[in-house]
Chain A
Amino acid sequence: MSRPSRRFVLGLFAAALPALVLLGACDATLEGTVLRVGNEPFSMLVLRIDDGRDLALEGPLLAELERLQNRRVRLEGELLEGGPPGAAARLAVSSIEED
C-alpha cells in the first residue's frame, strides 16, 4: 500500500481550510511560498498555499518571513479568521521551516 506524501497530507489540510477558519482559531502547519502581494501601499506578506489561496502572515516572526520572500516554507502557527482584502485567512506564525 502506498503512503501519502507529506505534500498530499498538507494539501488535504489546505483543502479543509475554509471549514477550519469557520470553526474558529486553530493551530496549523501549512506549506507554501512566501510572497509579498498587492499594490502599494497595501501590499501584504502572505503564504500562498498550493491551491492558490493566500494567508496573510502576522506575528513576531514577520521580519524573518520577509527575508524568505519567494521561497517555499512550512509554517506553524494559529489560523485566524479575517484578514486584508485578498487573503483567505490570517496565519499568526510561531515557527518556520524552510524547504
Chain B
Amino acid sequence: MSATFNKRGRRPARAPRAASLLAVLTFLVALGSCGQPDPVDETVYPVSASFDAADASAWTAAGPSVRFATYAPADRNEEVSFTASGLVPGKAWLVVTNADPGASFELSGTLANAVPEARTAVESTDTATADTLTRYLRDIPAVSEFNADPWAYVEESAISSRAIVPSAPVLSTSALYEKAEFSYLIVNSVGELETVTAFATCKAYDTDTTTGISAAVWVLDSLLADSTISQTMIDAVISKFLVVGSDNDIHDWVSSVFGDSYSTPVAARSDALITDADVIDILIADIGQQDIKSGIIGYFHSLHNYQKRVFSDSNERVMFFIDAPILADPSGGKNSIWEPTDIGPMEIWSTLAHELQHMIHFNEKFVERESAQSPTWYDETCSAAAEDLVSYKLAINGPRGVSWDRADAGDTGNQSGLLPYFVWYPEDSLTYWPSPELSTMHDYGSAYAFAAWLGRNYGPQVFQGMVQSLDTGFQALENAIANLGYVKPDESTLLRDWAVASIGSTFDPVTYPMEIPYRFNSGTWFTGTVGSTTYQVGSIGLNRYRQIEDGSTTVLHETGLKILSDIPSSGSIAPAANLYIALPVAADGTAAGTLTLYRGMSMTVVVSE
C-alpha cells in the first residue's frame, strides 16, 4: 500500500509547504507497513432452514391474514436448503432481499415444482386507452404536437433601450417589472444540456407575510414577445406556488414538511454561497427548445446559490426553472384554450413541489448543517414524496397516477404516474442511480414506490427527519423512523418491509388489512399532520398498474407487480433490491428449494390466508 504524493506544477512560493507535507506523509508511511484488513471469508456454508406456517410463533403478522418469516445468514455466505409447510397454493411468495447498497450477487438456487422463469402477474390483462396513454408527459412520447413557429431569441440590441437591471440578489423590495439577465440550461439539438443566457422580466411578485418569503416569477423576454407565455399563465404559477396566508400554497405545504428553502450560511461555506434574501425566483424558460418531450419539466441547480466569483454562471439567486412549452401546452383540457387544469400545467404544479424539495434539501443538508450532499436516490425519493403530499391539495393526480380525489387504489390497467415503471421491474436497485440498461424513469419509479410506502406508514414526518439531519441515506432514514418512536430498522428490514407491503398492496384491503409498516393499500386515505397542515394520500395497489414498453405507445406489459415463477437460472440481484417469486406449493401444502444467500442477503416467505 502507498499514499503517493507527487507534486506537479509547483508554485515556487508554496513549495516549502508542499515539501513539509510531503516529508510528514513520507515519514508516516515509512514508519512501517500499513495495517491490512482481515481477509473476508468467502466460504459458502451449507445450512438448512424451515418455514412452518402452522407454527404462528415463528412468523410476524403483517396484518390479521398476512404473515411472513425471514431467514438471514449471520455475516457469512450460505447455501440454504429450505422447506416450507402449511402453505396454501397461490398464497405464498418468496422475497429475496439484497441489503448490500453496493454489491450485486449472482442468483443461484432451485425451487421444487417451479415453472421455469415465467412471469406471473397478480392480476391479469386490461386494455390501454388513449386517455391513460396521455396522462404522463415525462415518459409518454408524442402526447401532442407543438406546432408553434420556432421562437427567436430577442437580439440584445432589440432590448438595449429597455432598462436593464444587472443580475443581483433580489432584496426585500419587489422586483416586479424589473429586467435581468439569467443563465439557464437548454436541451440542445443533440440532447445535451447547454448553458445559455437571456434576458427576462419579472412578471409576478408576491410576499407571504405570514412567512416573510417572497416569490418572483421571471419570463424570458423572447417568450413574452411571441406571446408563448401569457399573464394568465404567470398568475397561475405564482398563485399555486406562493400567496399570502398559511397552508394555502405549494411553498407552505412543502416547506412545512421539509424545511427552509434557504438560510444565510454562517460558517465554512459563507465565503462561497450567497446571502439569504428571503426570495425564491422562478424563471420560465424554453428548456426543451419547444420539445415537450425533452425530459426536463423543471430543475433546481445549486450552482445559483453560489457567488459569481465561485461559479461565473451563477445567477446569485435562490431559484428554479420551469419549461415554458410544457407550461403553455393546452393539451388534455376541455378545449384548445389554456387552463391550469390542462396536462402540461398540472405537471408544472407537481414539478414546482418536486424542485422546491431539492432546493430545501440542499439548504438543510449542505448549507445549514454543512453536511455532504445526499445520494441522488435519497434526494429524488424526497422529491417524489413532495409531489405525492401535494397531489390532493393541488387537485392533480401526481406520481400515484390515480385521480387525485380517489381514496382507493384506482382502476386496473393504470398506465399513469410512476408506478408502472416499478411494477414492471420491481427488482430495480433503489440506491444505484441510474440503473444500467434501464431508463432513468425506472429509478424515479423505484424512488417513488419507496417514498409512497414510507409516507403511508410513517407519515409525512419521516421525510422531515430524512431531510433535517446531519446524516443522509439509509442512516438518516433509520434515525428518522426511530425518532418517530418506532423500533429502529436496519437497511435489510426496510427493504423487506417495503416488499411485504408491496405484495400486501395487491390484496383486497377489506379482506386483507395490513398494519404499519406494511401498508400501501387501505382502501381509503392515509392522513398525517405536520404543524398545522394535514396531508392526505390515497391508497396504492401495485396490481393495478401496467407498464408501457419504453419508447413505444403500443406494446403493453402484463398488469400487476412482476412476480417470477422461479429463481432465475442466470442473472443477479442488484444492490438494495428485492426479487419477488411466487412460491410453488405442492398439493400437500409444502414447498422446498435451495438458495445461496451471500453476506447481506436474506429470504422471506410471505403467506396469506
Contacts and interface: CB of A to CB of B under 8 A. Distances in A.
Given A3-B32, A70-B102, A86-B302, A26 B8 contact: yes
B358 A29 contact: no
A60 interface: no
A85 B306 CA distance: 8
B485 interface: no
Contacts of A36: 375-377, 433
Given A3-B32, A39-B383, A71 B8 contact: no
A6 B34 contact: yes
B3 A52 contact: no
B373 A86 contact: yes
Interface in A5-57: 5-10, 12-13, 16, 19-20, 22-29, 33-43, 48, 52-54
A66 B311 CA distance: 26
Contacts of A9: 3, 25, 28-29, 34
A64 interface: no
B35 A6 contact: yes
B424 to A, nearest CB: 20
Interface stretch (B14-22, B241-249, B251-259, B533-541): B14-22
A67 B102 CA distance: 9
Contacts, number: 145
B29 to A, nearest CB: 6
B269 to A, nearest CB: 10
Chain B interface size band reads 35 or more
B24 A12 contact: yes
A37 B11 CA distance: 33
Interface in B266-283: none
B542 to A, nearest CB: 24
B376 to A, nearest CB: 4
Contacts of B7: 23-24, 26
Interface residues of A, number: 50
A43 B37 CA distance: 32
Given A26-B7, A39-B383, A71 B103 contact: yes
A40 B170 CA distance: 26
A74 to B, nearest CB: 8
A25 B8 contact: yes
B361 A39 contact: yes
B31 A48 contact: no
Interface stretch (B123-131, B146-154, B203-211, B293-301): B293-301
A9 B35 CA distance: 10
B262 to A, nearest CB: 14
B33 interface: yes
Contacts of A38: 302, 373-374, 376, 379
Interface string B183-195: 0010000000100
Interface string B405-438: 0000000000000000000000000011100100
17 contacts: A4-B31, A4-B32, A6-B35, A8-B28, A25-B8, A26-B6, A27-B5, A38-B302, A38-B374, A39-B358, A39-B362, A53-B372, A68-B102, A70-B102, A71-B103, A86-B372, A86-B373
7 shortest interchain CB distances as A-B pairs: A70-B102, A6-B34, A71-B102, A3-B32, A5-B35, A70-B101, A39-B358
